[in-house]
Amino acid sequence: MSIVHVVAVLVVLLLLAFITEPVARWLRMPYASMLVIAGFVASELAVFSGIDTGIHAGNFHDLVFYVFIPLLVFESAYKINTRLLLVNFIPVITLAIVGMLVTASLTALGLYYGIAHPAGFPFIAALLTGAIVAATDPVAVVARLRETGAPEKLGVLLEGESLFNDATAIVLFGLFLSMALSLDSAVSIPAVVIEFLKIFIGGMVTGLVTGLLAGVIAKLVNDNMMNSILTLAVAYGAYLLAEEIFGVSGVMSTLAAAMVMSSLLAKDAAGDNAADNDQLWNVMGHVANAMVFLIMGVTITLGMFEERWLAMLIAIGAVLIARAISIYGCLSFIGLFQSKPIDLRCQAMMVWGGLRG
């Protein structure tokens, strides 16, 4: 695909994102859902007109993981209330790891026995699907919570869980994929657990070191424009360093780097300087989020619904039930050891607020 073709497709996607937001507001529909629909309709029109968008299921992974994921993770981690996140770190990390594993496992079981076709849909395929759909994406819900003046703690719980369980989901998916590709060899559960911890913790350490070094450089430079450029470089640099050099979690690395830089630069940024940096990441995050949902719509075909509608319905039911079990189970257990446990209303909000991308 020529560079002109790439730029043309990008321009069309940006215009679609621009047009879709007011339409979604007018129809009172979630922006993300409208973006998927817009991407799907635009793709079908392009195919009907004989135009190749160049975006297919085959290149969707690299496009999303190496172009958009670093921006989305860095933006969310950079803007989150770090102090409140640390106060609620135990429930957040429990939901992100234990809750994620429970949701993925229960979803896999529901899919495997619901579809009941071991030859066409083996258990490893169910595990892969469970890992994909178990991660949460509460962007629209958190925005709505802010508008309604809901407790900030609830938003931090949802955002924090989403940040960390994205990393868990990607690591888990990678492990399940490795298992699927080596079905002929025996799988050791302890080895899988050790590999998971290595990838997860290794990514965090890589991000912490990268964020600390970048934060020190930013303090020495002490120029808001240059520091904004540095944060953008760190978003991609931390991800690539972890994934391509050390073989650990790029998502975890970018997340840790963003939180460290946010904490280090917060004391120095003030007034217009802080506003400029926030504005940069507001735009970056918004564009990346819109692009992901539009591209998701572009890769959808009508054949998917004609052939797999029942499997989709089973997956939706399985993941909702699994989400409820993991939230109520994890938070009720943690509440036994807390002086101020998370109340049932907040737990219910978290069940329904854990929307899937």
- Among 61, 46, 36, smallest CA distance to 294 is for 36
Q: What class does CATH assign to 64-353? A: mainly alpha
Task: Taking residues 324-353, report their average pLDDT.
Answer: 86
**Higher per-residue confidence, 140 vs 306:** 306
Task: Give the mean pLDDT of 19-44.
Answer: 90
The 10 Å CB-count burial string (b at 16+, else e) for 258-273 is bbbbbebbeeebeeeb
Max Cα–Cα distance, the chain, nearest Å: 63
The mean pLDDT of the chain is 84
Predicted local distance difference test score (pLDDT) of residue 223: 83
Residue 291, pLDDT > 60, answer yes
Average the pLDDT over 142-157 and give the result: 71
* One-letter identity of residue 200: F
Confidence check: pLDDT of 7 > 50:
yes
In the three-class reduction of DSSP (H, G, I as helix; E, B as strand; rest coil), residue 249 is classed as coil
pLDDT for residue 150: 67
Residue type, position 110, single letter: G
To which residue do tokens 């106060």 refer?
87
Token pair, residue 151, equals 């407790």
Burial 218-236 (b: 16+ CB within 10 A, else e): beeeeebeebbebbbebbb
The reported pLDDT for the residue numbered 139 is: 61
Tell me the whole-structure pTM to 2 decimals. Answer: 0.83
Confidence of residue 237 (pLDDT cuts 50, 70, 90): very high
User: Is the distance from CB of 280 to CB of 234 less than 8 angstroms?
Assistant: no
* pLDDT band (50, 70, 90) for residue 298: confident
For residues 267-282, give the mean pLDDT: 68
Distance CA 216, CA 308 (A): 52
Is the model's pLDDT at 184 over the cut of 70? Answer: no
Percent of the chain with pLDDT over 70: 90
**Is residue 273 predicted with pLDDT exceeding 70?**
no
Average pLDDT rounded to a whole number, residues 260-269:
76
**Which string of DSSP letters, residue by residue, matches 20-55?**
HHHHHHHHT--HHHHHHHHHHHHHHHHHHTT---S-
Alpha carbons 45 and 51: distance in angstroms, whole number: 8
Q: What is the mean pLDDT of residues 270-277?
A: 61
pLDDT of 357 > 50? The answer is no
Model confidence pLDDT, tens digit, residues 89-103? 889 899 888 988 899
* Highest averaged pLDDT of the listed ranges 134-138, 205-209, 340-344: 205-209
The Cα–Cα gap between 89 and 121 comes to 37
The answer to whether residue 115 scores a pLDDT higher than 90 is no
Please give the Cα distance from 263 to 341 (Å, whole number).
Answer: 27
Range 206-212 average pLDDT: 96
pLDDT at 340: 80
pLDDT at position 70: 92
Determine the pLDDT at residue 213. 96
CB-side neighbour CA atoms (13 Å) of 215: 21
Q: Is the pLDDT of residue 22 over 90?
A: yes
Q: What pLDDT is attached to residue 50? A: 82
Tell me which residue of 41, 63, 8 sits closest to 33, measured CA to CA: 41
